[in-house]
Amino acid sequence: MKVCNKCGEIKPLTDYHKSKATKDGYAYMCKECSNTATNKWRKNNPDKAKQHHDKWRKKNLDNQRQYSAKWRKNNPDKVKKYVDKHCAKLRESTKERREMEIKMYGPKLPPMEAYFRYLRDEISD
Ligand SMILES: [Zn+2]
């Protein structure tokens, strides 16, 4: 149990976020207070919050991209299976679906097909 610095209530440790900054390894304020504080901060700093979010998203996206590129390199067989399976599915796609895709994405390749083609190129070298 731990006393929240903000609301003063005694709450179990599971009600606190883990923190590296504190001695006991848990945050000074409970999750509830922490959420309230974050929401308040977001409300008062919408630009900063957006920036923060964009930065986080970009970092996350980069990590994800790097991770999946690495995974594909290490698992070419799985990628090939995946691509083959989905390419077969795409080939089976009906005329109606094709027309819908053209309506949605224009006469160019729909994104999924382009993506699979990209994957196939990547593993074929
Ligand atoms: Zn609290």
> Taking the chain, what is the end-to-end CA distance rounded to the nearest angstrom?
58
pTM of the complete model: 0.46
> 95 and 115: one domain?
yes
Q: What is the number of domains present in the chain? A: 3
> 82 and 107: one domain?
yes
Instruction: Residue 19: count other Cβ atoms within 10 Å of its Cβ.
Output: 14
Ligand 1 centre and the CA of 51: distance in Å? 27
Ligand 1 centre and the CA of 36: distance in Å? 9
> 54 and 94: one domain?
no
> 89 and 115: one domain?
yes
Q: What is the pLDDT along the chain (125 residues), one digit of tens a residue?
A: 999 999 999 999 999 999 999 999 999 999 999 999 999 999 999 998 888 888 888 888 888 888 888 888 899 888 888 888 877 777 676 777 777 777 777 776 666 677 777 777 776 65
Length of the chain: 125
